Each structure stands twice: as structure tokens, then as C-alpha cells.
Amino acid sequence: MLNKPCAVCGEIKPEVFKIWFDGYVKLHRCLTCGFVAQYPGPGKFTVVTDYQDFYSLDFVNKGQEFIYPERHRVLQDISNRAIAQKPNGRILDVGCGDGHFISVCSQKGLDCYGVEDSKVLSLYASQKTGAKIVQGLYDRNMFPQNYFDIITFIQVLEHIPDPISALEIANWHLRVNGVLIVEVPSIHSPHFLAYQWTGIKRFVKPPSGIIYSHYGYYTPKSLATLTKGRGFKELAMITGRWQYKYTGLLGQVGKIIDPLLNSLKIGGILYLGTKSQ
């Protein structure tokens, strides 16, 4: 018996869900939209839903400014794409964490806001960037309607059990023609594809493969289904982007293979869309 409908398309027929992985956790794939998730279906539910006290400032004690300094070039790329759509205005980063992306955007002149459930990180991000950070889970009552020009979910949507509600709230907070940006891991990333082709579970062994705190795993198709159903028109759906994730020789290789990865829809997903209603 299903515990919940598909979080992306609402499918509820049990026969439409197939076990995608049965190892460290049980993952199910919705055959209607392609979304892979721990729910619906039986199995151990390991997703973290309360991040208020989940993080610490250990990264500061290690001499780091941000938790993932290696992500800086990726965040620069996302901010450049955002500004190409909206050169100025008000931006909200949902799940802003330590404020790394907000720091990048504020340096480029955007009026930055953030939402972060972690008490520690929300305070750090506020002090670090000077942006307006709201602590808590993203909620409609946090901001007025039609308030933002850009809203981003960067490596966040995969942690949210109800992505439909989250994007409906984002639609409410965005101005008409406002830009939605979503970056999520993909079930079509190389390590997941290697598992699919070989059946060797080691390819997706946590924590470098399956992430226990990830509610679900997207494909370009399932992300397109989710965003279109919430009133967004797709501007771009880019996969891979290895040239921004790596430096040196690997970064140069990324420049060469990124067009191929994008054409094959392999690798992490970056979605840009605009509010159409």
C-alpha cells in the first residue's frame, strides 16, 4: 500500500511504482513522471525534515569561509545566468545555508534575501552577507505576494518532501515574468547510471552515492513536470556543467564534454523558468 502519492505528479496507483533500488534505503520510481524517491512505498524512511539544529560552524573552525568553497565557480555560473535574465532586482534564495550564493549575488548588486531553517547557519549568513535572512521553513507568510524578481532553490528541492507546495509558494512570491532557478542532483548522474547498467550497489554507496537526507531524485522530465504544473515556463534545462564543478585539467575536460552531457541529459540539473501565470 502506498503511503503517499508521487510528490511530483500525484500518481497514486501502486502498479505505477517500481522499486528502483533496494539496498541502503528503498527507492521507488514513478513510471508516470520518472521521479525516484524513498516515498511512496514501504521501506525505511531516513529523510531529515528538521534542519533547525542540524548544522554547526565546524567549517569556520577549519578556516573556511563557507561549507563548500569548491562550489564557488558553480554559484558564480548560476548567478551569471540569473542576472542575464534579471540584471537587477530582488532575489530570494530558499535554503540559503551559510549564505555563499547570497554573497555572490550581493557582490553583483542584487537585493538579496534568504530563508534558512538552521538557526546556526541563518545567523551566520545574515552576519556574513548583511542580507535579510528569515529563519525557518519556507512559508507563504514570510513575504508579500509578487515581491521577488528571482527565486532560487540551489541543492534544496531534493530535501523537500512536498516540492509542489514549495513551488506554489514561490509562484505566489514571484512577480509576473519573475525567474525561478532550481539546481538539483540527477538520477541520471554517472554513478547512478553505472548502478543501473551493472546492478553493482557499490556505485551508489552512501555518502557519495545515495544521500540519506535526499527525499527524492529528479530527472529533467520529472523536474519539467513539476515546474510546469506549478505555473512556470521553461527557459533552459542544462545538465552536466562539469566545467564549473572542477578546476585544472578536469575543468578543461568539462568544457569539452559538457555539450555531450547536456545533449544526453546526464549529470546534475540546472533549471531556469519564468512565472507564466
Per-residue pLDDT for 41 more than 60?
A: no
Percent of residues, the chain, with pLDDT higher than 70 = 93
pLDDT reported for residue 123: 94
Stretch (H or E) spanning 92: strand 90-94
The pLDDT-based confidence of 140 (bands split at 50, 70, 90) is very high
CATH of domain 49-184+218-275: 3.40.50.150
pLDDT reported for residue 2: 47
Per-residue pLDDT for 4 more than 80?
A: no
Model pTM?
A: 0.92
Orientation angle between helical segments 163-173 and 220-229, nearest 10 degrees:
50
Per-residue pLDDT for 3 more than 70?
A: no
Contacts (Cβ under 8 Å, ≥6 apart) of 34: 187, 219, 221, 222, 225
| Summary mean pLDDT of the chain | 89
pLDDT (tens digit per residue) in 260-274: 989 999 999 999 999
CA 105 to chain CA mean position, Å: 17
Comparison of pLDDT for 153 and 12, the residue scoring more: 153
Sorted by where each begins, the domain ranges of the chain are 49-184+218-275
Nearest partner of 219 among 181, 183, 264, 187, judged by Cα:
187
Grid cell at residue 116: 534558512
Q: What share of the chain is helix, strand, coil (3-state, %, to 5)?
A: 35, 25, 40
